[in-house]
Chain A
Amino acid sequence: MNSDEKKQAIASRLALARKNAGLSQGQVAQMIGLHRPSVSEIEAGRRNVLGEELGKLAEIYGVDIDWLACSDTNKTDEKRDKIQLAARELSKLKKEDLNKVIDMLSALKEEDKS
């Protein structure tokens, strides 16, 4: 993945994570002290997202920062496998719902042990 592709991939994950969290761009902007158009630019891949901003957004969305930064391939695959293995019952779900729920769960931030 070249740097432009990675920037777009991160932008897509940021938009997906925000929607899955149930927040609008305006709400997120207010939470992290940006203007709404800045959030829109970040999600369109037209503005770089700073490391500190990425950390804040991961916290707000309740997702793993490595997933959000697209530097997680193995980790997310492991999580997906674990969920699928643990959830033999997931077969009860329609395929479309199943993929949606596994995607959402495998992006979650792991339990805070502290």
Chain B
Amino acid sequence: MIDLKKKLAREAASKAMQVRALYKRSLIDPICPFDLALDMKIELRFQSLPSLEGMYTPTPRSAIVIGSERPAPRQAYTCAHEIGHHAFGHGTKIDELQDVGIITKPFDPEEFLAQTFAGFLLMPKMAIDRALKDRGFTTQSAKATDYYQLACFFGVGYTSFIRHLTYSLRILPQIIADPLLKEPLSDIRSRFESPDITKSLLVVDLRWKEKTVDLEVGDLLLAPRGTTNEGTSLLIGKETNNGIYFEALKQGNDRLSAGAWSCFARIRPKKFEGRAIYRHFPEVADE
């Protein structure tokens, strides 16, 4: 079984790199799996289906359906997983992921392939190495807040990120990972001086150059000090020692900038249901 898993993991990593190359994604930057699915001409939809995490079907056309009730990082991971089913040419699949990074029993090689593919697609080793180096972090010395910031950068959950580094890439020793995994997210958010630790918080730094900031209405954003926004979808909030807070007010697109640094922010409705291509469409004022 261990040999089979190793073989499948190599296959998944290789396929993830092929997909990135084919759709012109570099190996050193984070990607948005929703945008990738659209580039792959997959019909991507979000729908409120409480018993569903995600689904892929090749018929009547290639389509992915993501449960809209789940948190955004989890939706991203699920989307990458479903792209895996598509890339490997699997048939119709319904996925009820129990916990990202852990495959439910009994062992299913196609599910293992898709799940491992998702990890390597979203977090290739080269991109992780680069992200750590750019910020002066090492896996030995990085703190929970550093890992949280990196998880935001890769668009995945904190736990998924730690697990990927520990179990898939094997660059984070379990002895360090275990206490990190026990840290409650609310405690980490409070260390960033979040004005509301119950709200989803995205931490953005000056290394976000090619990556768009994706938020849902109601989410908080911590941006570098001195950041201002152009647009009306984000509301500027308090400035702290860690940076300046924004709250996502309504769907649409804003631009963030601070000195020579800038990036785009896309805001979608909370628990958006519909075609992925319309998720950031600004609402139209009634006549």
Contacts and interface: CB of A to CB of B under 8 A. Distances in A.
Interface of A: 19-24, 26-27, 29-30, 35-37, 61-62, 79, 82-83, 86-87, 89-90, 92-94, 97, 100-101, 104-106, 108-112
B283 A101 contact: no
B286 to A, nearest CB: 6
Contacts of A92: 51, 94, 96
Interface of B: 41, 43, 45-47, 49-52, 55, 57-63, 65, 91-94, 96, 272-275, 278-279, 281, 283-287
Contacts of A62: 43, 275
Contact of B63 (A22, A93, A94, A108): A108
Contacts of A111: 41, 60-62
B92 A21 contact: no
Contact of B50 (A37, A94, A106): A94
Given A20-B274, A94-B51, A101-B49, A29 B60 contact: no
A108 B62 CA distance: 10
B274 to A, nearest CB: 1
19 contacts: A22-B272, A22-B273, A26-B285, A26-B286, A27-B278, A27-B284, A36-B284, A61-B275, A83-B60, A86-B57, A86-B91, A86-B92, A87-B57, A87-B92, A89-B94, A92-B51, A92-B94, A105-B63, A110-B60
A22 B286 CA distance: 17
Nearest to B49: A97
A8 B52 CA distance: 32
A82 B50 contact: no
B279 A22 contact: yes
Contacts of B49: 93, 97, 100-101
A101 B275 contact: no
Contacts of A93: 49, 51-52, 94
A66 to B, nearest CB: 12
A86 to B, nearest CB: 4
A101 B55 contact: yes
Contact of A101 (B52, B58, B61): B52
